[in-house]
Structure 1
Amino acid sequence: MFRRTSTLLATALLASLVAVPATAHADDDGSRRLTGQRVAYFTQWSVYSGFSAKKVQDSGQAAKLTVLNYAFGNISPEGTCFEANQAGEGDAWADYQRPIGAADSVDGVADTWDQPLKGSFNQLRKLKAKNPRLKTVISIGGWSWSKYFSDVAATDEARKKFVSSCIDLYIKGNLPQLGSLEGGPGTGAGVFDGIDLDWEHPGGGGLPDNAVRPEDGRNYTLLMAEFRRQLDALSGKKRGQRYLLTAAVAANTTIVDRLELPKIARHVDFLNLMAYDLHGAWEPQGPTNHQANLYTDKADPSGINNGYSADRIVRHYLDRGLPAHKTVLGVPSWGYGWTGVPAGPRNGLYQPATGMSPRGSQLPYKAIKDLPGTVHNDFRHGGSWKYDGTEFWTFDTPEVAAQKARYTRHKGLGGVMVWSLDGDDEQGSLIAALDRGLRR
């Protein structure tokens, strides 16, 4: 079912791994053409840990991106997109009610008490003003908020209602006031340039209380078609404006096979392949392994998943009918850590563990890079890890991230996607590495 990776391709990628500066200068004037899609997620909750749109600008990340996905919008039990201030349901405060001071504002201008749009939505609008090439997209669903996707996709009436509500809220910008000054008709207009669906996972495999139907695969196509129809109808009323339609899709090949990829491809601009989480915290005793290796390693001891890799995932999508230019490879900005790991013959790789790291089973790249230990880059398999004699961390170094970007160019793919921006360091090292890889 899966073809072997070309030796010539692997050799070419290895040969291109040359020393480059760790960072690149921001390119805010839009003078340099960006090669390929460069998609990255900005999470709603990251503002509470000190991350901000201003950091996306100041780190140089924004100048190297084509699309910023804002995660996430939720779906109501009634089958509509909505905003709320309720734990686990929505965070309108972070989205458009939270006042931003001058020090944290993209353009250095503080919000006034009476302006109708504040929070991250207003900062995204400012980010686009400074980076004219950048498009911002609202991502709907995700792991926690995919509960009602099957319901809203189930009938023509439900699809029309759901799609219309999402466009009204996020594209037309008719934000509810929710008892505050912020919001009102059209206040969010111009913030978002499209819709990204993160349905995890059609047909089952997500959270146990997600609605699931045997016909989810077919209804997924119909839902995408309805989004495309309504977005194009709105585009027709605004000359020169075409709204993006994308989706994040699973690495699990069983779920991939439920999708009508050739039909979906007619409606979407591209699909973001979540080519990570191949191994992690759900395997606390190991063996330690890569969470996002690019190529298959024959020594991988993982049994039924033996040989699983980002390349295998890509080839599965291509074999099932997704055009290469609409295939965007996902890259993680975090990693998983095990403790009590013996060195073995490969510096902790493929070894048993006593459990997950006491530092936390999962950490962002910006934290892992400063942990003790030696970094190991395996360019033959496109994987990297850090090992200090007892702790093993699987994560993508900038060098491996650049290798993955070069891989997408060699394969003729659409580009790269990163989950998520707040996992990168203050210099934007991962985004800079992907930029280098896409330009070479």
Structure 2
Amino acid sequence: MRIRHKAVAGLTTLLLPLATLVALGAPAEAAPDAAPEATATYAKTQDWGNGFEGKWTIKNTGTTTLSSWNVQWDFPADTKVTSAWDATVTNSGTRWTGKNLSWNGTLAPGASVSFGFNGTGPGAPSKCTLNGGSCDGGSVPGDNPPSAPGTPTASDVTDTSAKLDWKPATDDKGVKNYDVLRDGAKVGTVTGTSYTDSGLTAGTDYSYTVQARDTADQTGPASGAVKVRTTGGGDPGPGPGDKVKLGYFTEWGVYQRNYHAKNIATSGSAGKITHINYSFGNVQGGKCTMGDSYAAIDKAYTADQSVDGVADTWDQPLRGNFNQLRKLKAKYPNIKILWSFGGWTWSGGFTDAMKNPAAFAKSCHDLVEDPRWADVFDGIDLDWEYPNACGLSCDTSGPAVFKTMMQAFRNQFGAKNLVTAAITADASSGGKIDAADYGGAAQYSDWYNVMTYDFFGAWAAKGPTAPHSPLTSYAGIPQEGFNSAAAIAKLKAKGVPSAKLLLGIGFYGRGWTGVTQKEPGGSATGAAPGTYEAGIEDYKVLKNSCPSNGTVAGTAYAHCGNNWWSYDTPSTVRSKMTWAKEQGLGGAFFWEFSGDTANGELVSAINDGLK
């Protein structure tokens, strides 16, 4: 079985730097006149083992306008810049230079600007100069920025206010004050270590962090986050006995697809789901790592793109998808979010990582629970395609490896965090469900997302045409065991409780071209054309371009011209939800939000069907 969404992930991520990259070129021009009343501060903002992301921040601490800036530093010979943005970065041997672009060179008194880069190697910068003078900042000789304050604690929480207290930060020249941030936006500045936030909404979740500023006005890293829910507000929302309604939100969807967290709200879907899986983080070098860090934490959102209508600022501690999801949770506090790792493209790293399950689980916990975004996530989802079987690559770790992995992650994440997995739906005799101990692992998992889609598709270019997401078997099905009912039945037989199984729905269709037969089982000449990939198209497109004109095995199909497509409609989704309830399943999940209509037709069908 092939899974549609995983193959697309790697391709789109590779395209990302074209939008933000500033080419590395020849050595820089001569530095402008020295500007002693300015600082350049360096921070390593990401480290994924075989590479890192760095950022320089230039601040005008003087009383006159700075017309240009030029930061120079040394890296050890084994450390190099590979790409950069918001500056022209060049080098001569081990000496590196970051020079302003035409639009960001002028800095008024008190103003700051940053530029970033990706690099390789373990080294830190040294011998920094700014416009020929001392950098006097950051991780270089001079005035260091403050440390992170202690994670705040909340008290005296009412319907409309909450008091926060924290342990002080430290600084080599003294802390001047603290900025208090609510859901990533600054709401107050105090000189002490206590703050009361007011004007809040009853029965609402908020997240608070604190940053210290020193006497040179340098801002240090943010504290850990504390979650606060105000009192009142009536019903807190879905309880543990309610059905799970989970959707995947793709990291790369913010590019070509132009689909953002805000769309989950504007479509009406946010009020009809319980969980979101953010996909995907990578698995490499035995660890969980970021997928596309720009999309996740750095992409600046304008007011019209933002969940709450507030634009990002250059100096806020977290931007990108993570901050938008934080804002979405603030508006819809009953939504829980998991960070999903692996997928079709990035599952190859699981085999190596499982050589040390405890270390692997710890690396993932440390990344998911990073203080900068710990409040965004409520757990982790592991999408290994496939343990002790073949997907894009093959694993031969043995049938016990999946149980070992889930146990290690439960031990690391504890009982209060969600630990889930996306698993195969191949119920054929000796197939992928038989290859791993899904029954034994279920005790450590909150639920399984059973990928009951992509059973058939145009990788079999000549057909026969068949629905990619059949609920049941039917006469002429190309492969026995390739249907949802068979997968659920086999997993139950292996000891997986019904309540820990979620039925999968694809918000897209799979299709062939060169087809003359309306019913399934026809011959074809290849994959039907699709917007992003041949053989695949979103439901929101197909409902108009090739409306369904038949059903088989609980799903829909359409024959239009010489193309043949299969996909789920609101009607077939509701029928599948009825079946899921009859089976006692824990709920349903879908791949993925952007395939739905602008008014969330398929999400509404899932919600209605599971009531």
Question: 1:307 Cα shift?
Answer: 6.0
Question: 1:389 Cα shift?
Answer: 3.9
Q: 1:425 aligns with which of 597, 602, 607?
A: 597
Question: 1:81 Cα shift?
Answer: 1.6
Structure 1 counterpart SS, 2:372: coil
Structure 2 counterpart SS, 1:150: helix
Q: 1:355 aligns with which of 508, 522, 526?
A: 526
> After the TM superposition, which residues 329-344 of structure 1 pair with which residues of structure 2 at under 5 Å, given as runs?
329-343=503-517
1:290 matched to 2:471: no
Q: Distance in 1 between matches of 2:405 and 2:424?
A: 17
Deviations 1:153-176 (A, max 9, x none): 23xxx2121111111111x22xxx
Contact 2:243–2:610 (CA under 8 A) maintained in structure 1: yes
* Structure 1 residue ranges, 4+ long, deviating more than 6 angstroms after superposition: 28-32
Contact 1:338–1:393 (CA under 8 A) maintained in structure 2: yes
**What is the TM-score when the length of structure 1 is the normalising length?**
0.81
1:131 matched to 2:339: no
Question: 1:204 Cα shift?
Answer: 2.4
Q: Distance in 1 between matches of 2:392 and 2:318?
A: 33
Deviations 1:37-56 (A, max 9, x none): 11110011100021000000
1:51 matched to 2:254: no
What does residue 179 of structure 1 align with?
none
What does residue 372 of structure 2 align with?
187
Deviations 1:45-88 (A, max 9, x none): 100021000000111111111110000011122x11223xxxxx
Contact 2:279–2:341 (CA under 8 A) maintained in structure 1: yes
> After the TM superposition, which residues 115-126 of structure 1 pair with which residues of structure 2 at under 5 Å, given as runs?
115-126=316-327
Unaligned 5+ segments in structure 1 are: 1-27, 84-89, 174-185, 236-241
Q: Distance in 1 between matches of 2:587 and 2:537?
A: 25
Distance 1:334 1:350, change over 3 A: same
1:159 matched to 2:352: no
Deviations 1:355-412 (A, max 9, x none): 221343111111111214553234xx20101112421111111111111111111110
Q: Distance in 1 between matches of 2:402 and 2:548?
A: 45
Q: How many corresponding residue pairs?
A: 370
> After the TM superposition, which residues 86-105 of structure 1 pair with which residues of structure 2 at under 5 Å, given as runs?
90-105=291-306
What does residue 113 of structure 1 align with?
314
Q: 2:396 aligns with which of 207, 213, 221?
A: 213
CA RMSD of aligned residues (A): 1.8
> After the TM superposition, which residues 6-405 of structure 1 pair with which residues of structure 2 at under 5 Å, given as runs?
33=238, 35-48=242-255, 49-77=257-285, 79-83=286-290, 90-154=291-355, 158-170=356-368, 172-173=369-370, 186-208=371-393, 212-215=395-398, 217-232=399-414, 242-253=416-427, 254-300=431-477, 302=478, 305-306=479-480, 308-343=482-517, 347-359=518-530, 360-378=534-552, 381-405=553-577
Q: Distance in 2 between matches of 1:192 and 1:113?
A: 23
Question: 1:33 Cα shift?
Answer: 4.5
Contact 1:328–1:413 (CA under 8 A) maintained in structure 2: yes
Larger Rg: 2
Q: Distance in 2 between matches of 1:161 and 1:201?
A: 20
Q: Which amino acid is 1:169 matched to?
A: L
Question: 1:299 Cα shift?
Answer: 3.4
Aligned residues with identical type, % of pairs: 37
Structure 2 counterpart SS, 1:144: helix
Q: Distance in 2 between matches of 1:340 and 1:255?
A: 32
Deviations 1:85-131 (A, max 9, x none): xxxxx310000010111111111111111011100001111111111
Q: Which amino acid is 1:433 matched to?
A: A
Which one has a larger percent helix, Structure 1 or Structure 2? 1
Unaligned 5+ segments in structure 2 are: 1-203, 205-232
Distance 1:58 1:123, change over 3 A: same
Structure 2 counterpart SS, 1:405: helix
- Larger RCO, structures 1/2 (Cα 8 Å, 6+ apart): 1
Which one has a larger percent strand, Structure 1 or Structure 2? 2
Contact 1:324–1:414 (CA under 8 A) maintained in structure 2: yes
Farther-moved stretch of structure 1 (218-227 vs 64-73): 218-227
Contact 1:387–1:393 (CA under 8 A) maintained in structure 2: yes
Contact 2:237–2:334 (CA under 8 A) maintained in structure 1: no
